[in-house]
Homo-oligomer: A and B are copies of this chain.
């Protein structure tokens, strides 16, 4: 029945240097209570300037680093922000991820990245984030099932969806202006004198892609009705360079091919351009005008000079994080909102 059977605990007055320094060590050294140390490091105002100085100095001297895990445990909230991504082979997404990481750091949080390769694991992966007491979640890809929003609402964890259909309950949505983009693309191709237009995107398509295509068609609708202009919907197997290239070879080889094509993503457009030039021997923009979407870095390279709709990855990231921050520090259950990032037509040589 050895109730007392505890072993001797080594509580020296001095701090052995093979152990990690805790706030208790700092407190002992500075001659204050642990709670005082905690208050100093949490920026709690109710502390005298003198003790604050002494404690911070001692902490510095001992090389004390706060244990974020313990802090999170106590607060039941960590300073981690979950980043749910997928399709990181897409350069625009990756560029966006980069800026997202910076933006999250800038508001004093840390990104915990989850890459969801299989879409069906999406929801499970998002729930996983709850295990880390995340302060918020950004979903840049994939489609979470709408009902899991409840879990985040109940635990008061804000969620922001970027560039996807806003189907998650209680989540903020941030989009680039796909409608304006589609319209601008139409205007550019029409201004270039093209009369047989096409929209090339991955068959089936994503939310963003469809929105762009629909806006494009809506913009040319009057001229379509008057018979002044023709339109052909086009599809490719994958939303990347190879998809664009293959589709280009196929489409442009046909007798009655479009002479002005709007692509759902820049990479598709680059593949299309290469197919046109190197497989079909077409001149751009004389024989074929091309407009892309995103303005990835390759588009501005001399070999392409792609005219495109620019959505600024950095601005999109800032916007996303500002939404998130508002909810993290804000009142519980703020109304969900929709934010739209302006886009811009970048004129180069392809249209």
Contact = CB atoms under 8 A, between A and B. Distances in A.
Interface of A: 18, 20, 65-70, 72-73, 78, 80, 88-89, 91, 94-95, 97-98, 101-102, 105, 110-115, 117, 127-128, 130-133, 154-155, 241, 245, 270-271, 273-275, 277-278, 297-298, 301-304
Nearest to A65: B131
Contacts of A91: 91, 94, 297
12 contacts: A65-B128, A65-B130, A65-B131, A67-B133, A68-B133, A70-B73, A88-B98, A91-B94, A94-B95, A94-B97, A105-B114, A277-B302
A10 to B, nearest CB: 13
Contact of A131 (B67, B89, B297): B67
Given A94-B98, A102-B115, A115-B98, A270 B131 contact: no
Nearest to A132: B68
A155 to B, nearest CB: 7
Interface centre among A94, A271, A275, A304 (most CB of B within 10 A): A94
Number of copies: 2
Contacts of A273: 303
Given A94-B94, A274-B303, A301-B241, A69 B73 contact: yes
